[in-house]
A and B are shown apart, each in its own frame.
Chain A
Amino acid sequence: MTEPQLLETPDREPGGTSEPGVRKPQTVARTRRRGGDDRSAETPYLQVRDLTVTFPTADGPVRAVQGLSYTLSLGRTLAVVGESGSGKSVSSMAIMGLHDPSSTRITGSISVGGQEIVGMSPAQLRRHRGGTAAMIFQDPPSSLHPYFTVGDQIVEAYRAHHKVSKRVARDRAVDLLGRVGIPNPRRRLDDHPHQFSGGMRQRAMIAMALVNDPKLLIADEPTTALDVTVQAQILDLIMDLQQDFGSAVLFITHDLGVVAEIADDVLVMYGGRAVEHGRVEAILGRPQHPYTWGLLESIPAVSGEPTRLHPIPGLPPSLLALPTGCSFHPRCEFAGRLDGACTRELPDLISRAADTTRTSRCHLPDPEQVFQTEILPRLP
C-alpha cells in the first residue's frame, strides 16, 4: 500500500482533514490556562504535536498512535490512561526514541527541552535517552538485567552520559540508591537484582532512571507489578523525587486510583487517539467521554454492598482496521442516540464552550449533562 492510499482510507479521512483545525483551539486553550498560571512564562518542556506512529506489517500498517498532541511542563505530572493497545506506551516509547527506525514510521513532532526527537540521528538519540529523558519500566524483575549487579547497571547508565571514573560513578550510584530509600546502599550495590525484593527492584530502577538528572521522567506503569502497600510507597517516592529534581513526569497507567493520587493533568487514549484531555479534577470529576465513563464504572467498589463489576463491553479495537467514525462507537451505549454520526464521522477533539482547559472527542452535544444524569447515579 502506498502512502496516499493510506490517507484516503475512510476512517482516517474525516480526522485527517479536520484535525489540524481542531488542534488550534486546543493549543489556544492551553496557553490561556498557562497564562493564568503561576508558571506562565516557561514553554512546556515536552511538546508532542500531531504524532503518528505506524508499524508496517505484512497485514498492512498498524497505526498505533494517530494525531496525538499534548504538552507537559517541568514540575507537572501528566497521566496517560488507556487500555492495552491504546497507544499510551507506544507514544511514550517514541518520546524516548526507543522505536526501531527500520520497523517504525514516526511523523509529527516531539520536542523535548527544545530539541526535536523525530528524525534525530542515532548518536543524538543516544544522548537523549537516559540523559534528557529517562524511563521507569513496569515489572522490574524482567526490566533489570539478571546477570549484572544493580550497581553495575546504575554505574553504566551514569557513565553513558558522564565521562567519569568507575569510582565516581559508584559513589553517585550509592547516593541515588540511598535517595530512593534503599537501606545500606553501599553494600547493596553489589547485589544482583534477584537478591532485591520487588519494591526494592523498582526503587533501583528509579535510581537508575534518575542517575543523570533527566528533566523528563516517563514512568510506564511502574506500580502494576507491585503489591498495594509497596505501590503507595513507590508513588510517594516518585512524587518526592519529582519535587527534588523539578522534572516533568509522564505517568502511563490504567489505574485511575493512581491517576487521582499523582496527576496534574490526564490524557485518556483510545485506539491510538486522544479522546479526552484536561486537568485531573475535571477528567475524573466531570468526564465528557463515554470511554472515560466506562473506565470509572469498571473500578470495583471496595466498600459497601458487593456489586458486580461493570466492564466496558466488547474488545479493544484492532489497530489494523479501526472502526469507522468514532473508534469507540461499537462499545459505546450512546452511539445509537446520534443518528449514525458516530459510525460515519470521527468526532473532533474539541473544548466545549463552558470550559476551555479541557478537550474531548465525542459527538454528544452535552456529554457532561449525560454524565451527571445517567452515569453518576450508577457509580458506586
Chain B
Amino acid sequence: MLIYLLRRIASAVSVIVVTLVASFGLFFVAPTDPAGVICGQRCTPERYADISASLNLDEPVVQQVGEYLKGLVAGRTYHSGGLTIDCDAPCLGYSYTLGQPVTKLIGQALPVTVSIVLGGAVVYLAVGILAGVVAARRRGTYLDRIMVGTSLGINAVPYFVLALLVALYATFLPHAGYHPLLENPLTWAVGLLAAWLTLGVANAAAYTRYARASMIETLGEDYIRTARAKGISERRVVYRHGLRAAVTPIATIFGLDLAFQLTGAIFTEAMFGLPGLGVLTLRAFNQYDLPVLMAGVLIGSVVLVAMNLLVDILYTILDPRVRLG
C-alpha cells in the first residue's frame, strides 16, 4: 500500500511537471508579447526592458522553467524598476497587472472556489443520490418518469442559463457574496447559498440519473435477495445493502466532477460575483497575466491528478475486494 502510494505520488509529480513545462512552452514560446501587454499604451523602451527582465523573458526558455521551478520550492526575488520584491516559496510568480504575488492571489481565490464547490457537492450528492434511490425503487412508475424527465430537462438547459435564471429571478435568496468561513460561518454560508443551490440543482439532476442507474443494477443483485430473505426491513435492504454497493461507481464520477469544478466554477463565480479561481483565471486570460495563468494551469493539473489518486484510494475503502499494489 505504502509503496503503491509512493509510486503513484511520484508519477503524479511527473505528470504535473510535464504539464507545467508544456504550458510554459505554450505561453512563453507563443508569438505573443507578454511584456508589451503588461507595459501597455504608454510604454517606454526602458520600462519594456525592465518588465522583460523581471519576467525573465530575456533568458532562454529552459532557464526560465528552471527559475520557475526553483521559485516553487525555494522562493525567488523579482527586481522591477529598482524595486526588489521577495516572493516566498511556494512562489508562483508575480502579477504585474494586479501588483501582487500570484501565491497570494491564489490563496485568496482558492478558498472561495473550494467553498462553492464543496458546498454545492453536499447539495447535489444529497439530493441527487436520494432522488436516484427513490426513482430506482419506483422504477417504471409515473414518479420515476417524472423524476428522470425533470433531470433530463434541467441538464438540457446550459449551465450558465440556469445560473443566470437563478441570479435574476431567485431574488428571495440572500444576496451572494464571499465572507471567509473563519470570520463568521453564518455569513459565509448565507453568502454562498445561491451558488450552492445553483451548482447543486444542476448537478443533482445528473447525479439522480447516475444513482438511479447504479441503484437499479445493485437492487437486482443476488445479495439483495439474500438480504431480504434474512427478514430485515426494506429500508435497511435498500440503504445499507443496496446503496452501500451502488455508491462506488458514483464515487468515480464524483471525483472527476469535483476536480473539474475545482479548477474553475467560472459561471457560478461570475454570475454571483464570487472572487474564485475561475474568475481570477478568466481575468488573467483577458489581460494576458501570464504568471496567474500559469498558476491556474498548475493548480488545475495538481487537482486533477490528486483527485484521481484520491478516488483510487477511496475505492479500497469502499470496496474491500480492491487492494492497491
Contacts and interface: CB of A to CB of B under 8 A. Distances in A.
Given A98-B229, A147-B244, A208-B230, A142 B321 contact: no
Interface string A31-63: 000000000000000000000000000000000
Interface string A185-218: 0000000101000000000010010000000000
Given A145-B245, A146-B321, A147-B320, A137 B231 contact: no
A330 to B, nearest CB: 32
A180 to B, nearest CB: 16
A147 B319 contact: yes
Interface stretch (A21-29, A127-135, A249-257): A127-135
B254 to A, nearest CB: 18
Interface stretch (B147-155, B156-164, B218-226, B269-277): B218-226
A130 B227 CA distance: 10
A380 B223 CA distance: 40
Contacts of A65: none
Interface string A93-133: 00010100000000000000000000000100011111100
A156 interface: yes
Nearest to B221: A142
B230 A129 contact: yes
B175 interface: no
A10 B89 CA distance: 87
Interface in A155-199: 156-157, 160-161, 192, 194
Contacts of B233: 126
A144 B320 CA distance: 13
A145 B318 CA distance: 13
Interface in B175-209: none
B229 A160 contact: no
A130 B225 contact: no
B245 A143 contact: no
B228 interface: yes
B144 to A, nearest CB: 13
Contact of B231 (A131, A144, A205): A131
A134 B244 CA distance: 24
A137 B234 contact: no
B230 A156 contact: yes
A192 B244 CA distance: 15
Nearest to B140: A103
A284 B320 CA distance: 46
A139 interface: yes
Contacts of B241: 145, 148
Contacts of A98: 225, 228-229
Interface residues of A, number: 28
Interface in B214-259: 221-223, 225-234, 241, 244-245
B320 A134 contact: no
Contacts of B230: 129-130, 156-157, 160, 208
B222 A143 contact: yes
A126 B320 CA distance: 29
A98 B222 CA distance: 12
Chain B CB count within 10 A is highest, among A122, A128, A134, A160, for A160
B236 to A, nearest CB: 8
A135 B233 CA distance: 17
A146 B230 CA distance: 16
A134 B229 contact: yes
B135 to A, nearest CB: 15
Interface string B82-116: 00000000000000000000000000000000000
Contact of A130 (B223, B229, B234): B229
A194 B322 CA distance: 10
Chain A CB count within 10 A is highest, among B226, B241, B319, for B226
Interface in B36-79: none
Contacts of A128: 231
B231 A147 contact: no
Nearest to B234: A122
A96 B226 contact: no
Contact of A161 (B222, B231, B234, B318): B231
Contacts of A130: 229-232
A129 B321 contact: no
A160 B231 contact: yes
Contacts of A146: 223, 245, 319-321
Nearest to A129: B231
B222 A139 contact: yes
A174 B222 CA distance: 24
Contacts of A129: 228-231
A148 B224 CA distance: 12
A194 B233 CA distance: 26
Given A139-B222, A147-B244, A194 B321 contact: yes
A191 B55 CA distance: 60
Contacts of A205: 226
A161 B232 CA distance: 8
Nearest to B226: A143
Nearest to A133: B229
Contacts of B221: 142
B223 A144 contact: yes
A205 B318 CA distance: 23
B222 A142 contact: yes
Contacts of B321: 146, 192, 194
B231 A145 contact: no
Contacts of A137: 222, 225-226, 229
Contacts of B320: 146-147, 192, 194
Interface in B107-131: none
Contacts of A148: 241, 244
30 contacts: A98-B228, A126-B233, A127-B231, A128-B231, A129-B230, A130-B229, A130-B230, A130-B231, A131-B231, A134-B229, A137-B229, A139-B222, A142-B221, A142-B222, A142-B223, A144-B223, A145-B223, A145-B226, A146-B245, A146-B319, A147-B319, A147-B320, A148-B241, A156-B230, A156-B232, A157-B230, A157-B232, A161-B231, A194-B321, A205-B226
Given A142-B223, A194-B321, 5 more contacts: A130-B229, A130-B231, A142-B222, A143-B222, A208-B230
List the 7 shortest-distance A-B pairs measured between CB atoms, nearest first. A130-B231, A129-B231, A142-B222, A145-B223, A130-B230, A157-B230, A143-B222
